Amino acid sequence: MSNTSARESIFARLHSARSAGLPYAPVPEKWEPAPIEDKKARVARFVELMTAMRSEVYQVKGDEWVGKLQEILAERGLKNLVYGPGTEIAKKLESAWKGKKDVGAELVPWKNDVEEFRDELFAADAGITTTMGGVAESAAMILWPSPQEPRLLSLVPPVHFAVVKADRIWTSFAEAIRELDWSAKAPTNALLISGPSKTADIELILQFGVHGPTDLIVFVVE
């Protein structure tokens, strides 16, 4: 057999094999961590991993987080705190600040126009947001930005405070999606936050606060 015939024969066999074969379509196995049934264990896991990611976590009851917040602001000498008016935590913040002159930090409400609010936002020492809940196995908080509480509140100020309800901490993200019924109403811009902003893009040296807050302080509320 000549070289040309051999080559044509090989190509013909390859072409035939490719045409006859079925497309490879791997089917991923469904995997989900076993749920942590005990709420106390779920919260403990969330706190442990969140702390390991260099976050500060405080477990408080009821509205105690407001007093703790004011205490931290005073200890750190933070001068102002931006928040979203109309949110679940807004009334408690406004009530706690109302008529109190000994609270060192000024409470600054978000304004709808980002251009109008830009100077105040970038001058803010800290921001505070609500959350939709948390994920224990990845120590992630779920945020759902809204016009009242935009993403910038958790992104721009160097210190981010967040309030997480203990009974809305799930084992896995898959479980959270189910419980929050995202199949019927998925958020348009959900955020998962696991610790302060960090990157190791340059020389694989971990740096904090390059693209966002350097400090994340979480209140887990019972």
121 in a structural domain: yes
Helix extents (H) in 77-148: 90-97, 114-123
Q: Over 90: is that where the pLDDT of 61 sits?
A: yes
- Of residues 160 and 210, more confidence is placed in 160
Looking at residue 178, which CATH number applies to its domain? 3.40.50.10420
Q: Where in the sequence is the domain holding 164, given as residue range(s)?
A: 37-221
Token couple for 92: 């408690």
73 in a structural domain: yes
- The mean per-residue pLDDT over the stretch 129-151 comes to 94
- Of residues 33 and 174, more confidence is placed in 174
CA–CA dist 77, 180 (Å, integer): 37
Residues 6+ apart with CB under 8 A from 72: 78, 161, 217
Residue 14 Cα distances to 3, 21, 25, 66, 173, angstroms: 17, 11, 20, 71, 45
CA–CA dist 31, 107 (Å, integer): 45
110 in a structural domain: yes
Residues 6+ apart with CB under 8 A from 90: 83, 84, 109
Provide the pLDDT for residue 20: 61
Q: How many residues does the chain have?
A: 222
32 in a structural domain: no
Provide the pLDDT for residue 21: 63
Identify the band that residue 19 occupies on the pLDDT scale cut at 50, 70 and 90: low
Residue 43: closest CA among 130, 179, 134: 134
25 in a structural domain: no
For the segment 84-134, what is each residue's pLDDT rounded down to a tens digit? 999 999 999 999 998 776 777 999 999 878 888 999 999 999 999 999 999
Provide the pLDDT for residue 127: 97
- The mean per-residue pLDDT over the stretch 171-189 comes to 90
Please state the domain count of the chain: 1
CA–CA dist 161, 57 (Å, integer): 10
Q: What is the largest CA-CA distance in the chain?
A: 99
Provide the pLDDT for residue 22: 65
For the segment 209-222, what is each residue's pLDDT rounded down to a tens digit? 778 899 999 999 99
27 in a structural domain: no
Average pLDDT, the chain: 89
Identify the band that residue 52 occupies on the pLDDT scale cut at 50, 70 and 90: very high
31 in a structural domain: no
Provide the pLDDT for residue 28: 74
Predicted model pTM: 0.82
Token couple for 126: 């800290």
Provide the pLDDT for residue 204: 80
112 in a structural domain: yes
- The mean per-residue pLDDT over the stretch 11-39 comes to 75
Number of H helices, E strands in the chain: 7, 12
The residue with tokens 């109309």 is: 86
Token couple for 156: 């721009």
